[in-house]
Amino acid sequence: KPGEQRNSREPSSSPCMHLAVVACGDRLEETLIMLKSAVLFSNRRLCFHIFAEDSLKLEFEKKLKDWPSSYTKKFEYNIYPITFSVGNAQEWKKLFKPCAAQRLFLPVILKDVDSLLYVDTDVLFLRPIDDIWHILKELNSTQLAAMAPEHEIPKIGWYSRFARHPYYGTTGVNSGVMLMNLTRIRNTQFKNSLIPSGLTWEEMLYPLYQKYKNYITWGDQDLLNIIFYFNPECLYVFPCQWNYRPDHCMYGSNCKGAEEEGVSILHGNRGVYHDDKQPTFKALYEVIRDFPFEDNLFQSLYYPLQSKFLDTVHTLCGRIPQVFLKQIEKTMKKVYENRVIVYLGANHRY
């Protein structure tokens, strides 16, 4: 495709899990740490779709090539320019955070991709992407996307208290982690508040933005909430441990799924990886950032994480370290067991 950068370590015909991210401004490092967490734990091959400003392309190329071959063979990647197929590009770029609205155009741009997982740059995977990818199979015949609630408790949720536009359900949904069946999105006529008949996804985006632009606060996420308010049968809602944010612990623990199973995907929104407001989130980010690829996961990742968590027990999120550690410990044990089995199997042949 014009303007697309492709780097493939394996034949593109083999099936893979598609992961999309949009990176602008100072989000290079954050995006690379997210991709690193994906590669560390996932089992099946990954296809990364990185949408980035031109000034970041060479840096992405350089950094990803520096990763050891034992990891680069697990993925291929494409780098795309920031483009908006309808409406005013400058308006879309300024909507909420720089370039964030690009995610709305993924079904239009990635015409050859059937399904993908979109994540914000400030996401960390604490278990294989394979596990959330399986949720695609749980979608019924009308569902074409999956997201987690914006909040678990309506009385303290943002949308239920402040929204001046329609939103999905009782608390709205958060678009930082979003599974999308792009084929279904492209083929659906969506109910809307613009005209009596249905509109395609691409036809709907800019008129919908024009109608609600004076009422939306969270940009493209608000537009997604409006779309699924009018088309609730199209959305599958997955539990909060797949999009765990500071809101789930800073007011007291309110994500039961994470309490039971541990955090599956950590979403450090509000810049918490880079300030001292939520040291538990920052600790996880820094440990994954600093982990040397080829080192022992327990020795160089899990134990330093436990040590850092000791310094966060005075905080509301830090009081529940098992919520953050449970899933990542389970995942690392599986990685270790798989490597031991492969090693023993290889030696058994001789």
Domain ranges across the chain: 17-238, 272-348
Query: Which residue is associated with the tokens 């083999």?
Result: 14
Residues 6+ apart with CB under 8 A from 61: 5, 7, 79
Q: What is the mean pLDDT of residues 225-251?
A: 96
**Nearest Cα residue to 250 out of 221, 275, 281, 288:** 281
**pLDDT confidence of residue 162:** 83
Q: How confident is the model at residue 72 (pLDDT cuts 50, 70, 90)?
A: very high
H-helix or E-strand spanning residue 137: none
Return the DSSP state at 163: -
**pLDDT confidence of residue 182:** 98
Task: Classify 17-238 by CATH class.
Answer: alpha beta
Q: Which strands form 173-181's sheet, in the order they lie side by side?
A: 5-7, 75-80, 46-52, 17-23, 115-119, 173-181, 145-149, 235-237
Q: What is the mean pLDDT of the chain?
A: 90
Report how far residue 173's alpha carbon sits from residue 186's, in angstroms, rounded to the nearest whole number.
21
**346 has a pLDDT exceeding 70:** no
Single-letter amino acid code for the residue at 303: Y
Residue 23: strand, helix, or coil? strand
Q: Which residues lie across from 317 on neighbouring strands?
A: none
The first and second tokens of residue 283, run together, are 């600790």
**pLDDT confidence of residue 14:** 53
**Nearest Cα residue to 61 out of 43, 48, 44, 74:** 48
Cut 0.75: pTM above it = yes
**Nearest Cα residue to 296 out of 252, 349, 333:** 333
Q: What is the mean pLDDT of residues 210-230?
A: 92
**9 has a pLDDT exceeding 50:** no
**pLDDT confidence of residue 313:** 92
The first and second tokens of residue 180, run together, are 């999308």
